[in-house]
Structure 1
């Protein structure tokens, strides 16, 4: 029998989806962008919201329409390509970027403010200790931290809410001058900065998790599942939008609280110290550290589980050990360096995720979805790779003739053209068969 959810259950599902996306790492990007954008803050913020909120929202809705996440959305692609995409996503949100970032954010906001000019040794010792604890908790797949996470997320949200109110009621500083990166194309710069949240990749996986939760609650009808997933996505998007706008405004009113910064964690720490004094700093440090720990356990355990099932070798605990060790190595490059290294890879990979979502929406209009999906994904990958190599600093002047190449979005028009060609070719193919 198909069950219906109460209003309370639907709200709970929405807040659970919001909690999936809101990691402590996500809160460090908007303040820095707000600080650097200066008077171009609103344009940069709009671009950021499109990729950090809009894309995850439309991805979850696409998952709802398709009846699942990446495996269902990619069913018209070769199985090997879907596996490769899933593997790439788990590497990106796991040991390559997102998981190591949790320890760096915890160090930046949870320990560094209390140390006098900490060096590389302090970071190394901290990341080793952090991921040894993550490894031990992940051996039991984080069951101990599940309950803790349910307490920490609401507390973190309350703290962010207090910060948001303070930003508008009692701003602690003034607006900084516009940084060079935000002078010419602040909207595009904000758009690409939104890639750093990696939430569009995560949304491809979360769709499956949310549908599993609905099935466990007795919601078996596919249309009802899709409706609840869409509502959850809208609630999560509203929550993320509120958090990001508040943090952008915080960064935009922080000159004087900080004079120069390397990352958003420094801005939030300084702002909390200015507002609430040292007790507030201790509370922030504790909450962010524990929130990062719960996020890290979730990422490491889910990656270990995926690679264990993919390879059928090594055992779950061995993959936990491998992932934790890789995270320690990556984390020791430092937060600012890790973010700068991740940008070219995200610039190259995000177009593929966006193309898959676009193809999913267009699928009802396709006469030959296998051909159309493969064409759209291939074109997005090829041109996204060009943008990624340009973002990495390679000389890609050979492709300067491409529209929007100079702003790092050469993939957009070719991908749209591939989508149109996929629709037309499908119709031509059907007419030929007739």
Structure 2
């Protein structure tokens, strides 16, 4: 396989592992509600759903290890707890959500069958893919992703070229920060450190003789290409939602809006093509999550294939159990976990991308601890204690935007680096 083809296959595989249920249903409604400020919402959304995730892939290219390596500089114990939290959240929420979206948008319109049947069949197929570990990169990169990409471009292109650029009013008070917070719901930053590990192991299985630098270059190039693909699709879906603002009820749900958009753009074939799109996009993400979790547990148990298979079974059973719930319910349940774990994930990604000179063990510890402390108010607010947090938000910069951790984390990062430079100079 030529180097260019290898980069493209890896980039397509990365894109499909990222692009799942949330990536498909969140942007159109965001655009629908953003009005003339769709571009500002897009910028915010792409910070948390494109830039940070791709930096996560670049961090993987640098580390070439597992998720455990991301937090090791804080402490091995922290890293182990963090890893289990990430994988626990991933197989309990975003993975089952893919089955729920598939049922609502690809099965229910055609068959009057219960959600539990969809979840069982869906995760049986996921399990078959996960067990065939060595073939995942080629199957995703060569077969499934081109289909996803083509249908998405068809929907977006038709909407953009057949509608006048007339927008409604925005419902967002803070479009940029609202876009960032909605990007949390894609799980893409978490996805980056989970599926990045899948890509690393897949490349190691295929390119056993490749050097560290060769693998690093391949992952970096594929990561930027996948990021460009995500940027184009997200911006296109948000713009599509904004352009079609007058054609649907203001209180429309995420899934209903996506169905409506596909019917508006693709006509009578819209439902069928959307069903194929949803099935492919959701399925590839579920495969990536269960594979990543199984890979991690296998590594912790010294390469035990039995541990890999047992984890895959548990991941699929959890998917069946949670996948029968409504999409909206899963999104609401996920919010508190995201408000707590996402900021920690973002700072770990950024610190691992930085040169060693600016990211010592002391910096890691100080920044992560600060982030955890200042994420607590946002977490408490997301579980229904928002009224009691109002006074606290007034004292924390950006607190009222649910990003109170940002400036304290940046401040402590700068302070520790200046402190260490003075120590080394004395």
Please point out which of 398, 415, 421 is paired with 1:404. Answer: 398
Q: What does residue 107 of structure 2 align with? A: 111
Q: Relative to 1, partners in 2 of residues 1:135 and 1:13: Cα closer, same or farther, differing over 3 Å?
A: closer
Matching of residue 226 in structure 1 with residue 226 in structure 2? no
Q: What does residue 187 of structure 1 align with? A: 176
Q: Relative to 1, partners in 2 of residues 1:219 and 1:426: Cα closer, same or farther, differing over 3 Å?
A: farther
Please point out which of 361, 365, 369 is paired with 2:360. Answer: 369
> For 1:139-160, what per-residue CA distance to the aligned partner results, in whole angstroms no more than 9, with x for missing partners?
5559699737742321111111
Matching of residue 359 in structure 1 with residue 351 in structure 2? yes
Q: What does residue 390 of structure 1 align with? A: 381
Q: What does residue 154 of structure 2 align with? A: 162
Pairwise CA distance, 1:278: 3.1
Q: Relative to 1, partners in 2 of residues 1:17 and 1:107: Cα closer, same or farther, differing over 3 Å?
A: same
Q: What does residue 417 of structure 1 align with? A: 411
Q: What does residue 30 of structure 2 align with? A: 33
* TM-score, structure 1 normalization: 0.85
Q: What does residue 51 of structure 2 align with? A: 54
Please point out which of 232, 235, 245 is paired with 1:255. Answer: 245
Q: What does residue 329 of structure 2 align with? A: 337
Mark the runs of 5 or more structure 1 residues left unpaired by the alignment.
Answer: none
Q: What does residue 151 of structure 1 align with? A: 143
> For 1:372-408, what per-residue CA distance to the aligned partner results, in whole angstroms no more than 9, with x for missing partners?
1111111112212222222333122352211111110
Q: Please say if residues 99 and 327 of structure 1, whose CA atoms lie closer than 8 Å, have aligned partners that are also in contact.
A: yes
Q: Relative to 1, partners in 2 of residues 1:296 and 1:229: Cα closer, same or farther, differing over 3 Å?
A: closer
Q: Please say if residues 200 and 353 of structure 1, whose CA atoms lie closer than 8 Å, have aligned partners that are also in contact.
A: yes
Pairwise CA distance, 1:90: 1.2
Mark the runs of 5 or more structure 2 residues left unpaired by the alignment.
Answer: none
Instruction: Find the residue that maps to 1:396 and give its secondary structure.
Output: helix
Q: What does residue 273 of structure 2 align with? A: 283
Q: Please say if residues 172 and 257 of structure 1, whose CA atoms lie closer than 8 Å, have aligned partners that are also in contact.
A: no
Q: Please say if residues 141 and 297 of structure 1, whose CA atoms lie closer than 8 Å, have aligned partners that are also in contact.
A: no
> For 1:174-203, what per-residue CA distance to the aligned partner results, in whole angstroms no more than 9, with x for missing partners?
645433xx1x10110001111111111222
* TM-score, structure 2 normalization: 0.87
Q: Distance in 2 between matches of 1:72 and 1:43?
A: 35
Pairwise CA distance, 1:50: 1.0
Please point out which of 57, 82, 85 is paired with 1:88. Answer: 85
Q: Please say if residues 379 and 414 of structure 1, whose CA atoms lie closer than 8 Å, have aligned partners that are also in contact.
A: yes
Further displaced range: 226-235 or 186-195: 226-235
Further displaced range: 194-203 or 395-404: 395-404
